[in-house]
Structure 1
Amino acid sequence: MIRKNKVISWVMLLVWMGIIFFMSNQTGEVSGNQSDLVIKIFEFLGIRLDSYFGELATFIIRKASHFTEYLILFLLLYRVNCLYMGKRNAKLYTLLGVLLYAGSDEIHQYFIPGRAMAFKDVIIDISGGGMAMILTWIYENVKSNKES
């Protein structure tokens, strides 16, 4: 059973890293179209982001995507790291892993037409990882208090 959990954890992590890589490998035009699609989905749901934020709507969608991608990456990487070390070390190594992957992702984007390498995106990415770290800490503390 433990071996099965390890395999599942590793597969989920690697698939998610692949998804991030695939999304970063899209040209600037394709990436922009994906952001527009998200805005249209919100519009279909009755939320007109353009009327609230104007031109900033696409920017907000793009940065929220960065934040969310790396929040999820933290959770998946943390799950894998917990298989091999204590939770405190796992959190630190996971945050470092998120930082390294975010940095390598921005370097990757530098070579994609219509995309750019942006330090601010690494900050947003690591913020998503940091939020996930805070959420896991809260969850683990609430869980241990309930068990006491």
Structure 2
Amino acid sequence: MINRRKNIDLILLIIWMAFIFIMSNQPANISDSQSGGVIKLLAMIGIDMNNMFGQLANFIVRKCAHFTEYMILALLVFNVLKSHFNIKQVIILTIICIFFYACSDEIHQLFVPGREGAFRDVLIDTCGGTLLTLIQLIKVKMLNRYRNIN
């Protein structure tokens, strides 16, 4: 059962990395239209990004997407690494993996029509991954404390 879980974690990680690659491989016009779709969806539920932020709305949605994509990536990397390393190593390796995947993602975007690689996005991605990693660390510490009490 444990080996099956490890395999599932690894498969989910690979699928998510492929998803990020595919999203980054889309030309700027497609990426912009997807962001526009999210803005329209938010407007339907009463959150008018265009009214609140004007032309920045598209930028904000795209950067939030970066942050969220890499939070999910960090969770998946964390889950793969936790069965092989101690918690301190898992934290460090997860953040390193997120940073280098974000760098490779931005380099990849240099070759996609209308897209650009930006170190700002590497930082946003790494912050998303780091936040999730810290949340996981807090969760592990709380679980360990709870187990020690019982």
| TM-score range normalised by the length of the shorter chain | over 0.9
- Identity across the alignment (%): 41
> How many Å separate the matches in 2 of 1:92 and 1:128?
15
Instruction: Give the secondary-structure state (helix, strand or coil) at the position aligned to 1:145.
Output: helix
Match of 2:104 in 1: 104
Match of 2:94 in 1: 94
Match of 1:145 in 2: 145
Letter of the 1:117 counterpart: G
Higher mean C-alpha displacement, 82-91 vs 92-101: 82-91
Instruction: Give the secondary-structure state (helix, strand or coil) at the position aligned to 2:58.
Output: helix
Letter of the 2:80 counterpart: V
1:20 correspondence with 2:20 = yes
Q: How well do the aligned residues superpose, as a CA RMSD in angstroms?
A: 0.8
Letter of the 1:146 counterpart: Y
Once the two structures are superposed, what CA deviation does each residue of 1:30-81 show, in whole Å capped at 9, x if it has no partner?
Answer: 0000000000000111111111111111111000011111111011001001
Instruction: Give the secondary-structure state (helix, strand or coil) at the position aligned to 2:117.
Output: coil
The correspondence of residues 1-16 of structure 1 with structure 2, limited to 5 A, is 1-16=1-16
Q: Which runs of 5+ in 2 are unaligned?
A: none
> How many Å separate the matches in 2 of 1:37 and 1:46?
14
The correspondence of residues 114-129 of structure 1 with structure 2, limited to 5 A, is 114-129=114-129
Give runs of ≥4 in structure 1 deviating > 4 Å.
none
1:65 correspondence with 2:75 = no
How many angstroms does 1:140 deviate by? 1.3
Match of 1:131 in 2: 131
Match of 1:51 in 2: 51
> How many Å separate the matches in 2 of 1:81 and 1:137?
13
Q: Which runs of 5+ in 1 are unaligned?
A: none
Letter of the 2:118 counterpart: A
Higher mean C-alpha displacement, 82-91 vs 21-30: 82-91
